[in-house]
A and B are shown apart, each in its own frame.
Chain A
Amino acid sequence: MVFSWLHLAIILFLIGGLLFAGGPLILSYLVAPRARGGDMGMPYECGMRPYGGSWTRFGINYYVYALLFLAFDVDVLYLFPVATVYRATEGWLPFLEMFIFLFVLALAIIYFWAKGVFTWPRKVS
């Protein structure tokens, strides 16, 4: 791959973002007071002493959505190259292919809908 101006611009802009974010943080580190001691380091839970750590086992009850999202996201990504060439194509075949692609996607939604993934509280786990 050729190193173009765009790549340089992306790198420069990321460095710019880093400086823009880091500058105030470093300035704040230099000028701000540094009090410590007492309960200052206690995680804030509205004044109550935290009971147990927060890095515990935690029910992520939307993981089915996350799996669905992964599948859909990758599928939708395939449509981006199609979008750039779709107008230039001839005949109805490209539309038929699009139809099949999106129809399968829609079938997936209907399948999960019927299976009860989208109803709360969830029927399937």
Chain B
Amino acid sequence: MNAIPAELLRIIIGLVAIAVSVGLIGLVMVWVERKVAGHIQRRPGPYEVGPNGLIQPLCDALKLVGKQLFMPKGADPILFWLAPVLAFLPVLLLFLPLPVGDGLQTLDVNLGLLLILAFSGLAVLSVLLAGWASNNKYGLLGAARGVAQAVAYEIPLLLSVLAVSFVAGSLDLAHVVKLQGTWPWNWNIMTQPLAFLIYIVSALGETNRAPFDLPEAESELTAGFHTEYSGMGFGLFFLAEYANMVVVCSVATALFLGGWHGPVLPGPVWFVLKVSALMLLMVFVRWTYPRVRFDQLLVINWKWLLPLAVANLLLTAFFVKLAQFA
């Protein structure tokens, strides 16, 4: 009687919901970022199209579709067009294990954290391909910096995430959330403040956001690795960046900020609120702090974040054992 298995239905509904929300997030985030940037610089931001410029991102998206797809002379055509597709390819998959509410996730993946960390590594590959294949010197410099940045920020990120999973004893995001409580003092941020700080700093580097937007660096490298991309090629990189921001903030919410837990309001609302707050924080950071220099970036990571993360993990392991005997 029941021809379609429940799991398959669940996966397809999740896929459609995630695809729709990624599109919406892209549109909303473009508007929010331009509006916040505008007000920080004491100008109104997008204003003319629609009430308070709300329709502006939609017009921008349509405009991007209508623009010619350029490829510079002498570029590698296969790699050049592979790069934007590859940038977006893993994005939907990254949303797969995210628990938005109690039981409200596409699949309960017991290695969800590892899945996200593994597939988010593909983003670097697309930066490298885009910069290399476009036969442009700015692009090449941007790609080289992108790889250096990935080399710098991957390990503190992994170590800070590991500290939480040592406490929870699981790599399942939903399980980590379930162990936390309703009130802010029951969240993991109270026991792991250092890990949270390291995670946020590394996440800024991981998503190529300012002050660590070295691969893009519009004031020195024109647009860095995507200098030669016009129209939709550029649009895909942009959309992938915003989607990656959401994933990073969602993981931070699930691991450190109690996920869907919160008083009075229903769970998914709390989850969205917390993710939005973190996203706003990232936007504020971008428009407040200047870009770090290339060698400063490597020094911040290897001299500060990595030793702190190792010490934090060791202390966590110690206290987990201590709690067992106490």
Which residues on A sit within 8 Å (CB–CB) of B307?
106, 109
Contacting pair A6 B107 (CB below 8 A):
yes
**A111 touches B (CB below 8 Å):** no
Closest A-chain residue to B171, C-beta based? A84
Closest A-chain residue to B106, C-beta based? A9
Contacting pair B236 A83 (CB below 8 A):
no
A62-B151, A84-B165, A84-B169 in contact; A43/B134 too (CB < 8 A)?
yes
Q: Mark B81-94, 1 if CB is under 8 A from A, else 0.
A: 10011011111110
Of B246-254, B263-271, B315-323, the one touching chain A: B315-323
A32-B66, A72-B155 in contact; A43/B228 too (CB < 8 A)?
yes
Question: What's the minimum C-beta distance from B158 to chain A, rounded to whole angstroms?
Answer: 5
**A123 touches B (CB below 8 Å):** no
Contacting pair B236 A25 (CB below 8 A):
yes
Question: Interface size on A (CB < 8 Å)?
Answer: 67
Question: Which of A41, A60, A112 is most buried by chain B, counting CB atoms within 10 A of its CB?
Answer: A41
- Contact residue among B8, B68, B166 (Cβ-Cβ distance under 8 Å from A34): B68
**B148 touches A (CB below 8 Å):** yes
Classify chain B's interface size: 35 or more
Closest A-chain residue to B133, C-beta based? A55
Which residues on B sit within 8 Å (CB–CB) of A118?
298-299, 302-303
Q: Mark B161-172, 1 if CB is under 8 A from A, else 0.
A: 010011001110
Question: What's the minimum C-beta distance from A83 to chain B, rounded to whole angstroms?
Answer: 4
Tell me the interface secondary structure of chain A in the complex: helix
**A2 touches B (CB below 8 Å):** no
A43-B72, A94-B321 in contact; A16/B15 too (CB < 8 A)?
yes
Q: Mark A20-31, 1 if CB is under 8 A from B, else 0.
A: 111011011101
Which residues on B sit within 8 Å (CB–CB) of A13?
15, 18, 92-93, 96
Contacting pair A80 B90 (CB below 8 A):
no
A25-B85, A44-B227, A76-B162 in contact; A65/B67 too (CB < 8 A)?
no
User: Can you list 6 A-B pairs with a CB-CB distance of less than 8 A?
Assistant: A8-B11, A65-B302, A73-B158, A87-B324, A88-B169, A109-B306
Q: Knowing that A21-B88, A24-B232, A55-B132 are A-B contacts, what are 10 other residue pairs whose CB atoms are under 8 Å apart, sorted by A's residue number?
A: A5-B107, A12-B11, A27-B232, A54-B140, A69-B154, A72-B306, A95-B317, A102-B314, A112-B302, A118-B303
Chain B residues within 8 Å of A, Cβ to Cβ: 7-8, 11-12, 14-15, 18-19, 22, 64-75, 81, 84-85, 87-93, 96, 106-107, 109, 114-115, 132, 134-140, 144, 147-148, 151-152, 154-155, 158-159, 162, 165-166, 169-171, 222, 227-228, 231-233, 235-236, 295, 298-299, 302-303, 306-307, 310-311, 313-314, 317-318, 320-321, 324
Chain A residues within 8 Å of B, Cβ to Cβ: 5-6, 8-10, 12-14, 16-18, 20-22, 24-25, 27-29, 31-35, 40-46, 50, 53-55, 58, 60, 62, 65-66, 68-69, 72-73, 76, 79-80, 83-88, 90, 92, 94-95, 98-99, 102, 105-106, 109, 112-113, 118, 120
